[in-house]
Amino acid sequence: MGRHSCCYKQKLRKGLWSPEEDEKLIKHITKFGHGCWSSVPKLAGLERCGKSCRLRWINYLRPDLKRGTFSQQEEKLIIELHAVLGNKWSQIAAQLPGRTDNEIKNLWNSSIKKKLRQRGIDPNTHKPLSEVNDDRKDPSSNEKNSQGSYLDEKTEPAAAAMASSYPLIDNSPPATHEFFLNRFVTTHETATKQPDSHHLSRFLPFSYTQQTPPPAPPPESADLFFNTDSKSSPELIPEYTSSISNPLLSAPPRTTANFHQNNWGSGNNGSNNGFFQTNSGYHPWGLTDCTKTQNSVNGGVEGEQDYIKWNDQFLQVPFLMGKSSIESKPEVNFGNHELYHGHQSVDTYNKHFQRISTSYGHFS
DNA sequence: AATCGTAGCAACCGCAGCTCA
DNA sequence: CTGAGCTGCGGTTGCTACGAT
């Protein structure tokens, strides 16, 4: 098990990224894609490790990030997904377009967890705290397994594996029906009544949600959390609905190769409206492998083509179009960086806008 | 005005898993 | 088969802003 080489390079910079560093990274990835992350800092002229560059890009600089405060629907979905997946933040994030695992993890730890506890729900088990306390007395009570889920890998190996890898759309029923039926009884009902509901039944195999009628449902933690009633289910924001109703969940297992296609090439929802896709196909942000990257970086034809396509597309991104776009739609823009929402003051907003302008000004 | 506690968030760390020579 | 190199993930830390006292 090799440790990342950056761990041994002491002279590399750490800590917060400067606007200049951001600019270098954006410029580089815009032009060449990231290729091998380990080679990015060298090629981009950064004194950072590749790991740090990757993290910075994924969590902060990537233009398809939504940013902004989480909607109630998003929070509810996070809770529901957490009930199934446990702390699988990346899998949860995969169902929330424009959100990063880090962002969701932070939200969970700083906000949702506390709110659930205040409402008498154990954030780990999603059961009422009183039940959890009872469970603790029972030695057979469930603990998280190695996958961070609550399934017993010995007695329910198939279900545990399912919850872990979460093959969301699958025509073959899972081995342990009871698990999901019990978990999603409310889900089933809600989805049946409300075709546009974002409830988790949409994430389950079709054959599953259409099978056995569920018994009387206990309230889900997410429902307790939001105190929803079936008559006044909250409206979904359009982009959210489209992403969720879309069978993005039928995507093949996330490999390095298909990750970019699934998550970047098509706007993370399987449709063709992602700005990473053009008529001519997917953009090559990270698609080039290490060997090809070097060729591209060296100014080969392939690299130039990438550059042209990339810049054309990049210039259409609102957050690179100048101050007005950011000011006019602070909650919608790709460039809606974390500092443009919530409790941040106007001063902070302006300060960070200047920062972003500095970083991106050369594009506009 | 100063201090303290808290919330939110960016970034780091260490590990696991995958690929490939 | 083995180990190095790399990516990705989840847990944790540390910084900053903000509100309460």
A230, amino acid identity: S
Q: What is the Cα–Cα distance from A101 to A59, expressed in whole angstroms?
A: 8
Among protein residues, the one whose C-alpha sits closest to the C1' atom of B9 is A106
Q: What is the Cα–Cα distance from A103 to A101, expressed in whole angstroms?
A: 5
Calculate the angstrom distance between C1' of C12 and CA of A110.
Answer: 13
Mapping DSSP to helix (H, G, I), strand (E, B) and coil, where does residue A78 land?
A: helix
Calculate the angstrom distance between C1' of B15 and CA of A48.
Answer: 21
**What ranges make up the beta strands (E) of A21-96?**
none
Which strand C bases fall within 7 angstroms of a protein CB? 3-12, 17-19
pLDDT-derived band at A173, boundaries 50, 70, 90: very low
SS (H, E, C) A253-283: CCCHHHHHHHHHHCCCCCCCCCCCEECCEEC
Calculate the angstrom distance between C1' of B14 and CA of A52.
Answer: 14
Q: Which nucleotide is nearest to A55 (CA to C1')?
A: B11
Q: What is the pLDDT of residue A14?
A: 86
Q: Does strand B come within 7 Å of the CB of A164?
A: no
Average pLDDT over residues A261-271: 34
Mapping DSSP to helix (H, G, I), strand (E, B) and coil, where does residue A128 land?
A: strand
- Cβ-contact A233, A243 below 8 angstroms: no
Average pLDDT over residues A280-302: 40
Which strand B bases fall within 7 angstroms of a protein CB? 7-19
pLDDT-derived band at A218, boundaries 50, 70, 90: low
Which of the residue ranges A50-59, A256-265, A313-322 would you say has the lowest mean pLDDT? A256-265
- Give A5-35 pLDDT, tens digit per residue: 454 545 788 888 998 899 999 989 888 888 8
Average pLDDT over residues A200-215: 39
Q: Does strand B come within 7 Å of the CB of A338?
A: yes
Q: What is the Cα–Cα distance from A168 to A249, expressed in whole angstroms?
A: 5
Mapping DSSP to helix (H, G, I), strand (E, B) and coil, where does residue A118 land?
A: helix
- Give A101-140 pLDDT, tens digit per residue: 888 988 888 888 888 888 888 888 888 877 666 655 444 3
Calculate the angstrom distance between C1' of C17 and CA of A173.
Answer: 50
Calculate the angstrom distance between C1' of B12 and CA of A268.
Answer: 27
Mapping DSSP to helix (H, G, I), strand (E, B) and coil, where does residue A142 land?
A: coil
- Cβ-contact A163, A200 below 8 angstroms: no
Q: Does strand B come within 7 Å of the CB of A60?
A: yes
A118, amino acid identity: Q
Q: Which nucleotide is nearest to A289 (CA to C1')?
A: C6
Q: What is the pLDDT of residue A98?
A: 87
- Give A86-104 pLDDT, tens digit per residue: 888 888 888 888 898 888 9
* Torsion angle of C-alpha atoms A9, A10, A14, A19, degrees rounded to 10: -70
Q: Which nucleotide is nearest to A69 (CA to C1')?
A: B8
Q: What angle do CA A238, A62, A247 make, to 5 degrees?
A: 40
The percent of chain A in helix, strand and coil, each rounded to the nearest 5, is 55, 0, 45
Share of chain A above pLDDT 90, in %: 2
Q: Which nucleotide is nearest to A104 (CA to C1')?
A: B9
- Give A222-243 pLDDT, tens digit per residue: 666 665 444 443 433 333 333 3
- Give A31-56 pLDDT, tens digit per residue: 888 888 888 988 898 989 888 998 89
- Cβ-contact A197, A209 below 8 angstroms: no
Asked if pLDDT for residue A316 goes beyond 70, the answer is: no
Average pLDDT over residues A140-164: 39
Q: What is the pLDDT of residue A134?
A: 61
Whole-number mean pLDDT of chain A? 55
- Cβ-contact A147, A72 below 8 angstroms: no
Maximum alpha-carbon separation in chain A: 67
Q: What is the pLDDT of residue A38?
A: 84
Helix-then-strand count for chain A, H and E: 19, 2
